[in-house]
């Protein structure tokens, strides 16, 4: 059988195409970005007229996907873990409306924070919404679980979450495809009130959701993704969730674990299988990527049962991603742990590219702010967050998408004047616009710099919804025209740019400055693909 | 047969192309494969590495256990040294000799090479200059891959096939450049270990 070498993300994308989705909506976010990118580039998806599109943010993506489900077709939305916070309102309520066409939400967590500001565990969100969750341990399962997830979603008429972590998202392995299936025909919900969450309907729908919980548990009991491997030696029982199962079996020759293992790939947890392990084994070890969700539920509040080992008792670290070495130590195994690291190695943090437009924006801003006390630049999520590092040392905050403008507003309203917000073009249309409206309404004395590199750069250059619209948006929100400036962030205009910023810092209302120059990476990749097009055209 | 390989370098130096070629060659040989990459913010001029695992049996973990790697292939010498604790006792370290200095506190080049030479099995190769002599500095990563081939235990032809299939759409010149680079690296490593 022909195997495709796919990243975990790509396996999910190919799975979605083959499982007959009609629409996918997403906002880029590491490590989830490659799912939507793959479908955008897929010839098969194009031939099948699958609608794939980047949205302004994760909430609009989630809602658009609910629209796909409403008309009876299969929809997918994907996001990084913190993106689910943005989509949470729609996400939680989608469990109350339920699904019509199959609906899957992929949440890609980033334990160890390789490219994120926290390491929250999306399984808690799935539990919070009370919907089934799938957690693949490898690329093949990621592919297979998409088919299975849509079956589950359509059978129970409920959205299904798939939770992955960075390691699976960005690791490649051979995947065998299934036969593709057709997309659904248009068919509106059978019950007209299903999607109208007026309190009277919502109470009824919520009771129905509560009533379905036992059926979800039963589905988990029967699921082939929850497997119990029994052995004679009951001195220890091991529960291994998702990718942690790989790290477990890696530690034993031929992957044969000498203790009973319950491999978890579907939630809510399979109660009977958990009870079997708890009653038959003397001690339990829980291996899970992220927060100790299974471990906590096993221990209970009083923690007065059998010894349970995991992230809470120190058998494994409380934070960070797992690996075979950490799991091996938790199993009490001893092995060669490698040489001492060399003392001739220093850190090499990421940095802005040589010639990056952000460099010149920060140089101008830093000089304009020289006469003020430090600590007044509120920034945001993007490549420009690297402005926090030397040699720029230019920004003082980075919290969540859009927080630059709103934090600057709060600080300025209550006494820090001038206050500056630094935000990227894509982040601005993601979550900055509403905050800018707040600032206009209260005439907050802030200077907002929208660094426009005409792309969503940090995640690899996806189209930015802000493209060509920023001045109009700002004017439409009520920023005065004479306080909106566009500049070219380049060395030769440094003095002019610095002068404009300096002037606007003294204005006691909202000003917007837009340094605009295309990202060097997107220019380079455009030139590469143009060369390729010219070449193939002449061949 | 199993080969666990750490690929190391700086964002933009082309370690993912090395990974793609080894991966394609491995699939051509019918081996199981897992390859964990780094994407996102760390790509911007920062340290990047990839875990590449090949085996004739199914591979479990996407990550190589510490002290278990058979080989480090590095396009930058300090980045090679960063992962020595991952290397098995008998592991090979194959590295470019040319440093990529984009930080103010880069250690002394000689100190780095001295530490690399402490390893029982290593190849240090001036891949940038060898690639330049062949016509393009950008093929340095293929020189380094070539230098690793004598110790990989796989049919060299598989790698030539992989280069043709991956660079084929970019034209014959690019395929030839990369194939020449691969061969030059291979010969260097064989001669250096005679």
Q: What domains can you pick out in chain B, each with its CATH number?
A: 2-192 (3.40.920.10)
Confidence of residue B12 (pLDDT cuts 50, 70, 90): confident
Cα distance between residue A264 and residue A287, in whole Å: 10
Does the pLDDT at position B107 exceed 50? yes
Q: Degrees (nearest 5) of the Cα angle A262, A268, A273?
A: 30
Across the interface, of B34, B115, B169, the residue whose CB is closest to A173 is B34
pLDDT of the residue at A2: 74
Cα distance between residue B75 and residue A362, in whole Å: 32
| Residues in Cβ contact with A113 at an 8 Å cutoff, skipping those fewer than 6 apart | A119
CA of B90: which chain A residue's CA is closest?
A: A338
Q: Where are the alpha helices (DSSP H) in A166-318?
A: 166-169, 199-222, 244-250, 271-280, 293-299
Tell me if the bond preceding A380 is cis, omega within 30° of 0.
no
CA of A325: which chain B residue's CA is closest?
A: B65
Q: Which tokens belong to A390? A: 């030397």
Q: If you count them, how many residues does chain B have?
A: 194
The answer to whether B10 touches B79, Cβ cutoff 8 Å, is yes
Phi, psi angles (nearest 5°) of residue A389: -90, 165
The alpha carbon of residue A167 is apart from the nearest alpha carbon of chain B, in Å, by 7
pLDDT of the residue at A538: 45
pLDDT of the residue at B43: 63
Cα distance between residue B4 and residue B71, in whole Å: 7
ipTM (interface predicted TM): 0.93
pLDDT of the residue at A301: 87
From chain A, pick out residues whose CB is under 8 angstroms from the CB of B114: 344
DSSP secondary structure of A347-370: -----PPTT-HHHHHHHHHHHHTT
Q: If you count them, how many residues does chain A have?
A: 539
Residue with tokens 């082939």: A224
From chain A, pick out residues whose CB is under 8 angstroms from the CB of B65: 250-251, 323-325, 328, 335
Using the Cβ of A7 and the Cβ atoms of chain B, whether some distance falls under 8 Å is answered with yes
pLDDT of the residue at A528: 80
Residues 303-332 on A with a CB inside 8 Å of B are 323-325, 328
From chain A, pick out residues whose CB is under 8 angstroms from the CB of B170: 532, 535
- Comparing CA positions, the residue from A321, A312, A7 lying closest to residue A172 is A7
Sequence-distant contacts of A488-496: CB under 8 A, at least 24 apart: A488/A515, A488/A516, A488/A517, A489/A357, A489/A358, A489/A359, A489/A360, A489/A361, A489/A364, A489/A451, A489/A515, A489/A516, A489/A517, A490/A357, A490/A360, A490/A517, A491/A360, A493/A360, A494/A360, A494/A363, A494/A364, A494/A367
The alpha carbon of residue B35 is apart from the nearest alpha carbon of chain A, in Å, by 5
Cβ contact, residue pair B27, A5, below 8 Å: yes
| Residues in Cβ contact with B184 at an 8 Å cutoff, skipping those fewer than 6 apart | B130, B134, B143, B146
Q: What is the pLDDT of residues B120-172, one digit of tens each?
A: 999 999 999 999 999 999 999 999 999 999 999 999 999 999 999 999 888 99
Across the interface, of A170, A250, A337, the residue whose CB is closest to B39 is A170
Question: Which pTM value belongs to this model?
Answer: 0.96
Cβ contact, residue pair B65, A350, below 8 Å: no
Q: Where are the alpha helices (DSSP H) in A313-461?
A: 324-330, 357-368, 403-413, 425-427, 433-441
The answer to whether A297 touches A217, Cβ cutoff 8 Å, is no
Domains and CATH numbers, chain A: 3-176+199-222 (3.40.50.970), 227-330 (3.40.50.920), 357-522 (3.40.50.970)
pLDDT of the residue at A425: 98
Using the Cβ of A168 and the Cβ atoms of chain B, whether some distance falls under 8 Å is answered with yes
Cβ contact, residue pair B60, A246, below 8 Å: yes
Cα distance between residue A268 and residue A134, in whole Å: 9
Share of chain B above pLDDT 70, in %: 97
From chain A, pick out residues whose CB is under 8 angstroms from the CB of B35: 5, 171-173
CA of B57: which chain A residue's CA is closest?
A: A254
Q: Which tokens belong to A333? A: 């195994």
CA of A116: which chain B residue's CA is closest?
A: B41
Residue ranges of chain A whose pLDDT lies below 70 = 1, 531-539
H or E element, residue B11: none
């Amino acid at each position: 059988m022909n195997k495709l070498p796919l990243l975990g993300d790509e396996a999910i994308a190919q799975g979605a195409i083959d499982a007959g989705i009609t629409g996918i909506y997403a906002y880029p976010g590491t490590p989830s970005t490659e799912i939507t990118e793959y479908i955008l580039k897929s010839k098969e998806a194009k031939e099948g007229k699958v609608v794939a599109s980047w949205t302004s943010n994760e909430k609009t993506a989630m809602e658009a996907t609910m629209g796909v489900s409403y008309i009876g077709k299969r929809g997918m939305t994907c996001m990084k873990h913190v993106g689910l916070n943005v989509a949470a309102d729609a996400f939680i309520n989608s469990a109350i409306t339920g699904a019509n066409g199959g609906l899957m939400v992929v949440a890609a967590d980033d334990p160890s924070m390789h490219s994120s500001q926290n390491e929250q565990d999306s399984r808690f969100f799935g539990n919070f919404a009370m919907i089934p969750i799938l957690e693949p341990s490898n690329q093949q399962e990621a592919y297979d679980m998409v088919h299975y997830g849509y079956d589950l979603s359509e059978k129970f008429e409920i959205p299904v979450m798939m939770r992955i972590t960075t390691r699976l998202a960005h690791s490649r392995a051979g995947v065998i495809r299934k036969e593709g299936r057709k997309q659904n025909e248009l068919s509106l919900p059978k019950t007209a009130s299903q999607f109208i969450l007026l309190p009277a309907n919502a109470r009824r729908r919520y009771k129905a959701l509560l009533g379905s919980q036992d059926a979800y548990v039963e589905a988990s009991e029967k699921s082939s993704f929850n497997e119990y491997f029994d052995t004679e030696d009951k001195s220890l029982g091991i529960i291994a969730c998702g990718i942690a199962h790989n790290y477990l079996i890696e530690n034993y020759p031929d992957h044969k674990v000498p203790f009973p293992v319950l491999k978890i790939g579907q939630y809510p947890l399979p109660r009977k299988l958990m009870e079997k392990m708890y009653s038959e084994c003397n001690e339990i070890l829980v291996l899970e990527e992220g927060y100790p969700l299974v471990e906590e539920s096993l221990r209970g509040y009083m923690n007065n049962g059998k010894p349970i080992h995991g992230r809470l008792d120190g058998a494994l670290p409380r934070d960070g991603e797992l690996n075979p070495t950490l799991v091996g130590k938790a199993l009490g195994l001893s092995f060669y742990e490698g040489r001492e690291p060399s003392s001739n190695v220093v850190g090499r943090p990421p940095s802005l590219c040589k010639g990056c437009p952000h460099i010149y924006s920060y140089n101008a801003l830093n000089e304009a702010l020289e006469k003020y006390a430090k600590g007044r630049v509120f920034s945001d999520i993007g490549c420009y967050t690297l402005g926090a590092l030397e040699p720029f040392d230019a920004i003082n905050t980075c919290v969540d998408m859009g927080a630059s403008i709103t934090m600057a507003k709060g600080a300025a309203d209550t006494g820090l004047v001038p206050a500056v917000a630094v935000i990227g073009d894509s982040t601005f249309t993601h979550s900055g616009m509403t905050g800018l409206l707040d600032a206009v309404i209260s005439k907050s004395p802030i200077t907002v710099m929208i660094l426009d590199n005409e792309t969503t750069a940090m995640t690899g250059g996806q189209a930015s919804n802000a493209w060509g619209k920023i001045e109009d948006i700002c004017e439409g929100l009520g920023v005065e025209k004479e306080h909106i400036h566009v500049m070219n962030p380049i060395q030769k205009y440094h003095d002019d740019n610095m002068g404009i910023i300096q002037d606007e810092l003294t204005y006691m209302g909202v000003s917007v400055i837009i340094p605009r120059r295309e990202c060097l990476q997107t220019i380079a990749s455009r030139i590469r693909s143009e060369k390729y097009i010219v070449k193939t055209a002449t061949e | 047969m199993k080969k666990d390989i750490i690929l190391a370098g700086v964002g933009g130096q082309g370690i993912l192309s090395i990974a793609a070629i080894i991966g394609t060659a491995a699939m051509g040989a019918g081996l199981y494969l897992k390859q964990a990459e780094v994407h996102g913010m760390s790509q911007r001029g920062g340290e990047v590495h990839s875990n590449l695992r090949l085996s004739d049996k199914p591979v479990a973990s996407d990550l190589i256990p510490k002290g278990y790697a058979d080989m480090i292939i590095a396009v930058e010498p300090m980045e090679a040294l960063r992962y020595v604790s991952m290397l098995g006792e008998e592991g090979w370290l194959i590295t470019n000799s040319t440093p990529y200095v984009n930080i103010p506190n880069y250690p002394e080049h000689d100190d780095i090479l001295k530490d690399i030479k402490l390893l029982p099995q290593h190849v240090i190769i001036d891949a940038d200059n060898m690639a330049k002599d062949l016509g393009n500095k950008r093929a340095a990563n293929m020189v380094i891959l070539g230098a690793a081939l004598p110790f990989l235990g796989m049919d060299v032809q598989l790698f030539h096939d992989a280069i043709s299939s991956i660079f084929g759409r970019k034209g014959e010149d690019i395929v030839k450049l990369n194939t020449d680079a691969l061969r030059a690296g291979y010969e260097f490593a064989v001669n250096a270990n005679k």
